[in-house]
Structure 1
Amino acid sequence: MTVTLTDTAPPSTTDLLTGVLLGPEFRREHGFWQRLISTEPFRRPAGGTPEERLELAYDRLRILNLSLDSGARLASDPRALAALHAWLGPVDPALTTVAGIHYNLFLGSLLDHDRVGRRDLSDYLTMRRIGTFLCTEVAHGNNAAAMETTATYDRERDGFVLHTPNAGAQKFMPNTSPAGGAKSGLVAARLVADGLDHGVRLFLVPLTDDTQALPGIRVRRLPARMGSPVDHCLTSFDRLFLTRDALLGSGEESGDQGEFRTGPGDRRRRFLTSIGRVTPGRVSMSACAAGSARAALAVAVRYGGHRLISGTRGAPPVPVDAHRTHHGPLASAMATVFAMTLLYRRTQERWEARTDEDGRTEAARLVDVAKAWITWRAREVIVESRERCGAQALLENNGMTELVTGVEGAITAEGDNIALYTKAAADMLFAAEPRGDGGGPDRLGHPGDLSDPRFLRRLLASVQEIWFARARERAMRAPEAADALGRWNAASGPALRGVEAFAYRQAAEAYAEARAALPEGAARDRLGELERLFATEWVARNSGDLLAAGLLSGDQIDELAETGEELIAAVAAHARELADSFALPEALLADWPIAGPGYADAYDDPQGPWTVPPADAR
């Protein structure tokens, strides 16, 4: 799809790059959120205790809800949910967390399982009650198959008895306290009827009123965690009776009063259907991490341009970003941030375009891998950006500390990254993968051109092949007596490296698609420089393996280093323009002092000696 804008004036380079990053309809998809975070209720407050910041997050959630034309429409639109995360993440990570839970996991699941509109959702649409989601248990983490919370069918009362059988079955980390107002939750529990296990399903459960947990429910706040202040809790149930309509079903349940039975079907499939909102949640985590990385990098680029340091002897001061040691890491980060954002959009489009079971499986795998890769890369970019801003970026009022800690939550949320990589690695280990889209040789006899993005992408595909080949070889070499775990342990190290290479390859292909959508000109040149820098640095990191495989020559290894330096200089020369393409509202940046040239004014002291005239001048 060609990037087009609706302005009558020819689009600028910045506008074209914004369209590449945020999509050809970025004003429609993102304009509401850009305007919302520029309004006074979402401006950065001064200080505040964790409890005050938590109260502010819930207050903002209600303001957000009042600003919507329809909460149900937001919950039904994965693109809007992702945009919410991308823009609110840098502003208020606590708000982003509770909003994502309410609109996606809670309200979205209710809408998905109630397509005929039988259930009254008015309490949740008006936020008389805030929704939360209770799946993970203390002792089981990502292992939902071992879930122990039960919902046992009670024939006499024609309902379910929800119970937590032991300490390990307590629901872990949902925001179930009365903070922010009355709460209801979707609780994942093992459905038991007539002694038979019907698998894990979701149940709608009122949890608290405005002040305390309801009878039969125990809620305890967890210790303070790193990052934004969310009311994470342990939640348990003491033989709590639920009416029959508490079960979120897919129409498979039947039976008259005092009867309950389910139709034939795979229990795992039913469970995955029940928690289907986790996948859009992972897309949203990618959007949130990419948005936070863009914000941190934009601040670092601006700060580097107006933070002056002493020049060489006798020379005037120069901006700190005049130094290669400063702008080099930020140029590499810029190439990574564009890659993260483009991969997120590629993933979103692939998920939306799925048409059959095979397509769904491949799209879901890409969602999982992209979520892990993007959130890990976001942590690297945010930490690098923070360091480039020195001690100033350690102060909360400069906006970066919340981003540093907030990305850790995204790495764990909606499935721990290593678990997502592991599942993808197991699925891909013996799957045949195409070698790429051409542009290079199979072996050294006809070397490719390192300035050709097609050749670089073929090298990226080769890195993926190399690591999966090693993983397969190690699995085959495992002793005959080795069990499945032993064989997996032998293969898992290189297999995870293969998944990482797969993510880099997907990001490089997203770059190529985006560049092809741009018209000839400066914007296409800028994106091409970023694309080549991204691919060249990854190839350089794997150059030893590519050399050993005969896919690179010794001369090309030397050329990689020189090419990388040239591309860093090219990207750094346009860093501010590239950062401006992130389209961050000036109101947001104004709340972070180091983002502006007058950052020192934030430390002015009206009682300082420079403001008081000397005694002899009075």
Structure 2
Amino acid sequence: MSVTLTDTVPLSTTELLTGVLLGPEFRREHGFWQRLISTEPFRRPAGGTPDERLELAYDRLRILNLSLDSGARLAADPRALAALHAWLGPVDPALTTVAGIHYNLFLGSLLDHECAGRRDLSDYLTMRRIGTFLCTEVAHGNNASAMETTATYDRERDGFVLHTPNAGAQKFMPNTSPAGGAKSGLVAARLVADGSDHGVRLFLVAITDDERALPGIRVRRLPARMGSPVDHCLTSFDRLFLTRDALLGNGEEGDTKGEFRTGPGDRRRRFQTSIGRVTPGRISMSACAAGSARASLAVAVRYGGHRLISGTRGKPAVPVNAHRSHHGPLASAMATVFGMSLLYRRAQERWEACTDEDRRTDVARLVDVAKAWITWRARDVIVESRERCGAQALLENNGMTELVTGVEGAITAEGDNIALYAKAAADMLFAAEPGHEDAPERPRRRGDLADPGFLGQLLASVQGIWFARARERALRAPDADALGRWNAASGPALRGVEAYAYRQAAEAYAEARAALPEGAARDRLGELERLFAVEWVARNSGDLLAAGLLSGDQVDALPETAEELIAAVAEHAPELAESFALPEELLADWPIAGPGYADAYDDPRGAWNTAQADSR
């Protein structure tokens, strides 16, 4: 994992750390988005009703589309999609949501399923029609493979009848209202032909014109969602006829007119193919959460340096950041944010590089766990940052409230986090056999808390300890009671998945540090790396002590070690926040990010102003 742009251009400490966070090609991969959010159309407006903010999100989507050289190229590039989410997320969560749906889930799925040139995409590339994606149903969320919406083949008309059979089969949450303009959607439905179920497939359906839902389609707005104002809806179909070309992949894999071949395992495979864009979507959710966490933490660090409080015993006022009670949580958040960003990059790069089908499942698991862990940690960081900024951060004009609620959407989008953790736990549970890398190491007392390698071994051991406990509990349950075995094992197994995420982030830290040249940037990253690991080790010190992997003296030393590292990280917090590379235009739109934040509350008609005018 290189962090230099070229071998000939020397980089500053800040630039080197930016490369750690965003990748060695950060100027090329992220420069467009940094510039875009710095332009006037993307500057933060004052106030606005939810409907006005929704209209603004769709207006911005069209401006964004006009700024691209090719919407299809963006849709085909998961790395660019992730960058979109990382930078638009802190600016406009509603825009980020509708852009991700249009480019990744809708347009990306069309490109994945269709041979080049077979279908005219001009309406979607020019945004004469905005794309959406209809998969989840009211009664079928994470078990979407059990969906009930049907597309029944009509042999006489050589097409399909799309139908919603009951209330539970209504499509849940997609942005299918006419807000923003005419919409088309990819609808996931169970293909039925001659009484046989051929699995879940995608169908291209025109949903609305500029004013209303089209005949045979019913669209109802859901109650207002917490956070950004997206037009989430319930959508149902009343025996809507679709021509044969509505089916994506029509004519491929042996499907011919009137014939749909489905062999053993095909239904599951076809379903996974239909929702294949979920994995890039999870990478994008990780990027979005990491970007939002970086933005909120940068604001908190800056505000803590500007906000002065009274000194002790008549001494001059000091920044609130001078207090350990204030800068300590932010230092820990800084170590977490770097860990989140590194884990996101690790998952992204491994997914892009993986061509071996035997390993693809393991890499997909890393993507899933990373999405869950990063979005959960982002919530922790954003809430902590908001609290460190006090009451002013509760005001919408200071930018944090949308991030607090927006991250909740990322936690649920593209697969609920707990469901992703549970799937990973079930897959990993019986892989943790003795001798496997997930098993606890043999007891050892030699090791230095200053050694990142030793700390990394401890993190691996925490993972093994929890999976060993889960396996023992599962084996005590009756073999015939599958649910009982899972319930017995799931608690510690989920803890094992959490430990796996920390371990993966720590390994990404180690790789990034090793790639840096000797100097200040490497020192700063090393301090963050050790703080990240020490705080996780401290949370699990009892288990590590019982396993003989830590000595009593080392457990006693953990709090002091953490305090020393917190002081080191806090000393450089402004420089570390600068490495986030947030445009000054973005920060200028959030008053508390600047030293003159109080000016945002000035009153031209206040006595302090009118008295001066009167005196003249």
Deviation of the 1:255 alpha carbon: 2.8
- Answering whether residue 403 of structure 2 is matched by residue 403 of structure 1, we say yes
| Amino acid in structure 2 at the alignment position of 1:608 | G
**CA-CA distance at 1:9 after TM superposition:** 5.6
Alignment of 1:335 onto 2:338: no
Rounded Cα–Cα distance in structure 1 between residues aligned with 2:255 and 2:594: 63
Provide, for residues 135-183 of structure 1, a one-character-per-residue CA deviation record: whole Å limited to 9, x for no partner: 0000111111220000000000000000000000000000000000000
Query: What is the identity, as a one-letter code, of the residue corresponding to 1:476?
Result: L
The answer to whether the 8 Å contact 2:164/2:237 transfers is yes
User: Counterpart of 2:362 in structure 1: which amino acid?
Assistant: E
TM-score by length of 2: 0.97
Q: Tell me what 1:590 maps to.
A: 588
Identify the residue that residue 70 of structure 2 maps to in structure 1: 70
Which residue of structure 1 aligns with residue 353 of structure 2? 353
Name 2:603's counterpart in structure 1: 605
Q: State whether structure 2 residue 80 is matched by structure 1 residue 80.
A: yes
Equivalent in 556, 559, 571 of residue 558 of structure 1: 556
Aligned to 1:464: 463
Counterpart in the other structure of 1:543? 541
SS at match of 2:312: coil
Amino acid at match of 2:602: D
Confirm or deny: 8 A CA contact 1:436 1:457 kept in the other structure.
no
Counterparts of residues 476-555 of structure 1 (less than 5 Å): 476-479=475-478, 483-555=481-553
Counterpart for residue 262 of structure 1: 261
Matches within 5 A, 1:299-378: 299-378=299-378
**Alpha-carbon distance, 1:616 to partner:** 8.9
Point out where structure 2 has 5 or more consecutive residues left out of the alignment: none
Asked if structure 1 preserves the Cα contact closer than 8 Å seen for 2:176 and 2:183, the reply is: yes
Residue 314 of structure 2: SS of its match in structure 1?
coil
CA shift at 1:350, angstroms?
A: 0.6
The alignment partner of 2:152 has SS state of: strand
Asked whether the equivalents of residues 124 and 130 of structure 1 are also in contact (C-alpha less than 8 Å), the reply is yes
**What do residues 50-81 of structure 1 show as CA deviations (whole Å, max 9, x unaligned)?**
00000000000000000000000000000000
Aligned-partner SS, 2:235: strand
Match of 1:143 in 2: 143
Q: 1:118 to 1:615 in 2, by over 3 A?
A: closer
Name the SS for the 1:567 alignment partner: helix
Q: Deviations over 1:309-344 (max 9, x none)?
A: 000012100000000000000000000000000000
Q: Which residue of 1 aligns with 2:33?
A: 33
Q: Take 1:7 and 1:396, find their aligned partners in 2: how far apart are those partners?
A: 44
Is 114-123 or 17-26 further displaced after alignment?
114-123
- Return the alpha-carbon distance in structure 1 between the equivalents of residues 442 and 374 of structure 2: 30
Distance 1:486 1:112 in 2: 40
Hey, what does 1:429 align to over in structure 2? 429
Q: Which moved more, 1:352-361 or 1:119-128?
A: 352-361
Paired letter, 1:603: Y
Code of the residue aligned with 1:525 in structure 2: it is D
Partner of 1:12: 12
Q: Which amino acid aligns with 2:599?
A: D
Q: CA deviation at 1:435?
A: 6.9
Distance 2:9 2:487 in 1: 59
Residue 509 (structure 1) shift: 0.2
What's the secondary structure of 1:223's corresponding residue?
Answer: coil
Contact residue 435 and residue 462 of structure 1 kept, 8 A: no
CA RMSD of aligned residues (A): 1.6
In 1, distance between residues paired with 2:92 and 2:614? 50
Instruction: For residue 437 of structure 1, report the CA deviation from its aligned partner.
Output: 12
Cα 1:124–1:570 change in 2 (3 A) is same
Give the counterpart letter for 2:179 in structure 1: A
One of 571, 591, 603 as aligned partner of 1:573: 571
- Give me the whole-angstrom Cα distance separating, in 1, the residues matched to 2:590 and 2:562: 32
Letter in 2 for 1:596: G
Between the aligned partners of 1:225 and 1:282, the Cα distance in structure 2 is 21
Aligned match of 1:415: 415
Q: Secondary structure at the match of 1:589?
A: helix
- Count of residues paired in the alignment: 613
Counting only pairs closer than 5 Å after superposition, residues 50-449 of structure 1 correspond to structure 2 as 50-249=50-249, 251-256=252-257, 259-262=258-261, 264=263, 266-432=266-432, 442-444=442-444, 446-449=445-448
Contact 1:436/1:458 (<8 A) preserved:
no
How far apart are the structure 2 equivalents of 1:332 and 1:437?
Answer: 27
Q: 1:153 to 1:305 in 2, by over 3 A?
A: same
TM-score, normalised on structure 1?
0.97
Shift of 1:261: 2.1
- The answer to whether the 8 Å contact 2:199/2:267 transfers is yes
Shift of 1:37: 0.1
Query: For residue 205 of structure 1, what is the amino acid of its counterpart?
Result: V
Quote the offset at 1:262 in angstroms: 2.1
Q: C-alpha distance in 2, partners of 1:489/1:193? A: 39
- Give distance in 1, aligned partners of 2:363 and 2:297: 29
User: Does the 8 A contact of 1:153 with 1:260 survive in 2?
Assistant: no
User: Helix, strand or coil: the match of 1:546?
Assistant: helix
> Residues 7 and 617 (structure 1 numbering): CA distance in 2 closer, same or farther, change over 3 Å?
farther
